[in-house]
C-alpha cells in the first residue's frame, strides 16, 4: 500500500468515526462541528522505527489550517522543532517517523478531560490499526491525559516514569509503560506535551537523558 493510499484510508475511517459521533446528540457537543478538516498523520518514507502519538489537533481552530498532525509539514514551528529534537536524540530521521493523533478531530471549547473521556472508545480501534502497521517501532505518547486512559495498571503520572525526586531533579531511574500494563499492548515511552515541556525546567533539563536511555533499550 502506497503512502498516499494508506494515509487516505486513515482519514476516511476518521471521517466515518466523526460522523458517528456527530449523530449522537450528547457526543456531538464535544466536537467543533464547523471545522471538518482532519489533519493527516505524518508518514516517513523510510523504515518506520518510531511512532509518536499526540492527543488531538486542538480545542478550536486558531491560525493556519493544520494540514498534518503536529504541524510536521511546517518546518520551524514550535511543535516541529520539539519532534525534531526527539528524533535527533534518538539518532533517527523524519523518514523513520509515523506520527498521529489519538483524537483526529477538533474539539469544541469546554472541559477537555470530559470530552476526551466520552470520545475515547470511538478512536481506540483505529489507533490500534495504525500502530499495528509497524509492530517493531518504538512508541512515544506525548499526552499525560492520554496515558491515563491507556494505562490499566500502575502509575499514571508522567513524573513517575521520568523518576522525579523533587526540586526539579531526577534520580535517572527512567521507566516506560510496559505492554502488559496498557490497552495498546505495546511498550509506551511517555513524554510531555510540547507546551508542558517548554514550561518545565525539569523536562527541558532531563530530555536528553531520557532520550539517551530510551535509545539504548528501545532500538
**Splitting the chain (219 residues) into consecutive groups of 10 residues, what average pLDDT does each group show?**
77 93 80 78 96 83 77 94 98 98 82 79 96 97 94 97 98 98 98 96 98 97
Residue 117's pLDDT is 86
CATH number at residue 138: 3.40.470.10
Q: Which pLDDT does position 59 carry in this prediction?
A: 56
Range(s) of the domain holding residue 67:
3-218
pTM of the model: 0.94
**Which pLDDT does position 103 carry in this prediction?**
92
> Distance between CA atoms of 52 and 70, rounded to whole angstroms?
10
Domain count, the chain: 1
Q: H helices within 90-200, ranges in order?
A: 112-132, 144-150, 158-161, 194-198
Positive or negative: CA dihedral 213, 215, 218, 219: negative
- Nine cell digits for residue 135: 509492530
Q: Buried b / exposed e across 67-102, counting CB within 10 Å, b at 16+? A: ebbbbbeeeebebbebbbebbebbebebebbbbbbb
8 A C-beta contact, residue 46 and residue 95:
yes
Amino acid at each position: 500500500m502506497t503512502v498516499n493510499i494508506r494515509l487516505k484510508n486513515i482519514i476516511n475511517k476518521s471521517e466515518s468515526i466523526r460522523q458517528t459521533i456527530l449523530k449522537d446528540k450528547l457526543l456531538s457537543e464535544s466536537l467543533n462541528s464547523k471545522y471538518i478538516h482532519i489533519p493527516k498523520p505524518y508518514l516517513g518514507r523510510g523504515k518506520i522505527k518510531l511512532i509518536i502519538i499526540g492527543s488531538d489537533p486542538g480545542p478550536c481552530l486558531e491560525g493556519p489550517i493544520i494540514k498534518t498532525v503536529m504541524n510536521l509539514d511546517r518546518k520551524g514551528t514550535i511543535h516541529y522543532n520539539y519532534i525534531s529534537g526527539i528524533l535527533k536524540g534518538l539518532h533517527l530521521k523524519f523518514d523513520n517517523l509515523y506520527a498521529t493523533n489519538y483524537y483526529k478531530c477538533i474539539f469544541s471549547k469546554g472541559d477537555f478531560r470530559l470530552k476526551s473521556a466520552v470520545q475515547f472508545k470511538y478512536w481506540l480501534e483505529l489507533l490500534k490499526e495504525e500502530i499495528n502497521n509497524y509492530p517493531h517501532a518504538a512508541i512515544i505518547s506525548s499526552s499525560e491525559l492520554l496515558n491515563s486512559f491507556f494505562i490499566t495498571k500502575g502509575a499514571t503520572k508522567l513524573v513517575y516514569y521520568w523518576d522525579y525526586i523533587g526540586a526539579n531533579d531526577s534520580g535517572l531511574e527512567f521507566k516506560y509503560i510496559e505492554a502488559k500494563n496498557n490497552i495498546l499492548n505495546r511498550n509506551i515511552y511517555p513524554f510531555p506535551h510540547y507546551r508542558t515541556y517548554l514550561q518545565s525546567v525539569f523536562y527541558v533539563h532531563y530530555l536528553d537523558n531520557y532520550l539517551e536511555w530510551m535509545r539504548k533499550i528501545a532500538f
